[in-house]
Amino acid sequence: MDYQTITYRLAENVATVTLDRPDVMNALSTQMRAEITDAVITGGREARCVVITGAGRAFCSGQDLGDRANAGNIDLERTLRDEYQPMLHAITNCPVPTISAVNGAAAGAGANLALGADVVIAKQSAFFMQAFTKIGLIPDAGGTYFMPRQMGMAKAMGAALFADKITAEQAERWGMIWEAVPDVDFEATWKARAAHLANGPTAAYFEAKNAIRASFENSLEDQLALEAKLQGKCGKTRDFKEGVLAFLDKRTAEFEGR
């Protein structure tokens, strides 16, 4: 795909997907959603870690509401089903680890796009906002799924109803994101995190994601059985053998990743 609203860069096994409509704070258009979906799927094939970030001062301001002619006339059910769901599935089902590097405001669907990644790293000056009730809507793009699991019912309910700004430092304290880092260290931090994952055991990362997500629906016995099954798969990989040998040899493991 010839990308018009994002940029895609592959370097050292890291695919970086940059939302690139800074003039509208990277608001999500139909074309951008399709391009993000394609780029994440491509990154999942070509790379060992996928990073999603934004150009300019915002990460993503959410749904593009700039067309006054269509104000209040958008078929939101169809849009969510046909455009947002494929994008979110591409991110959450990605076979390699995903990072949201939140460089600025993440509002509405933009906040939930960020929360869909496996790891969220944000500038301290960034913020998240479930802005939906400000225009008479409920959180969507996975927000009602991600928030209660990441920050608990009470915080999720308040975020949804009040639509307050949540600073990156608050988000970190609440368990909503992995870490908030000083602005000056932001780029170096997410790049180092991405490099770490890109050099790690990709198959084990994938199964760890599967196990952790399944835990919300499983009983303890079901989860123990799943752990045993998935660990059995990991135990048959070259990465496991290499990891043990590297430990015994007191050296850094060199994982295949696939």
Question: Cα(112)–Cα(150) distance, rounded to whole angstroms?
Answer: 12
Q: Is the separation of the CB atoms in 91 and 117 below 8 Å? A: yes
Q: Is the separation of the CB atoms in 257 and 13 below 8 Å? A: yes
pLDDT at 18: 98
pLDDT at 69: 45
Q: Is the separation of the CB atoms in 32 and 21 below 8 Å? A: yes
Question: Cα(215)–Cα(235) distance, rounded to whole angstroms?
Answer: 21
Q: Is the separation of the CB atoms in 132 and 108 below 8 Å? A: yes
Mean pLDDT of 182-201: 97
Q: What is the pLDDT of residues 57-79, one digit of tens each?
A: 999 999 988 754 455 567 899 99
Band of pLDDT at residue 248, cut at 50, 70 and 90: very high
Q: Is 250 exposed, middle or buried (0-12, 13-18, 19+ CB in 10 A)?
A: exposed
Same domain? For 70 and 158 the reply is yes
Same domain? For 88 and 173 the reply is yes
The answer to the question of residue 242 being in a domain is: yes
Provide the 3-class DSSP secondary structure of residue 39.
Answer: helix
The answer to the question of residue 258 being in a domain is: no
Question: Could you list the residue range(s) of the whole structural domain that residue 156 is in?
Answer: 6-198
Same domain? For 166 and 215 the reply is no
The answer to the question of residue 174 being in a domain is: yes
Band of pLDDT at residue 258, cut at 50, 70 and 90: low
The answer to the question of residue 80 being in a domain is: yes
Question: Cα(78)–Cα(99) distance, rounded to whole angstroms?
Answer: 27
Same domain? For 162 and 221 the reply is no
The answer to the question of residue 86 being in a domain is: yes
Q: What is the CATH number of the domain that holds 98?
A: 3.90.226.10
Same domain? For 176 and 223 the reply is no
Mean pLDDT of 188-215: 96
With pLDDT > 90 as the criterion, what percentage of the chain qualifies? 93
Q: What is the pLDDT of residues 129-186, one digit of tens each?
A: 999 999 999 999 999 999 999 999 999 999 999 999 999 999 999 999 999 999 999 9
Question: To the nearest whole number, what is the mean pLDDT of the chain?
Answer: 94
pTM to 2 decimal places: 0.93
Provide the 3-class DSSP secondary structure of residue 177.
Answer: coil
28-33 own/partner pairs: CB under 8 Å, 24+ apart: 28/60, 28/62, 28/63, 28/64, 28/109, 28/110, 28/113, 29/5, 29/64, 30/79, 30/83, 31/4, 31/5, 32/5, 32/6, 32/64, 33/83, 33/84, 33/86, 33/87
Q: Which residues contact 139 (CB under 8 A, 6 or more apart)?
A: 112, 130, 132, 147, 159, 160
pLDDT at 66: 74
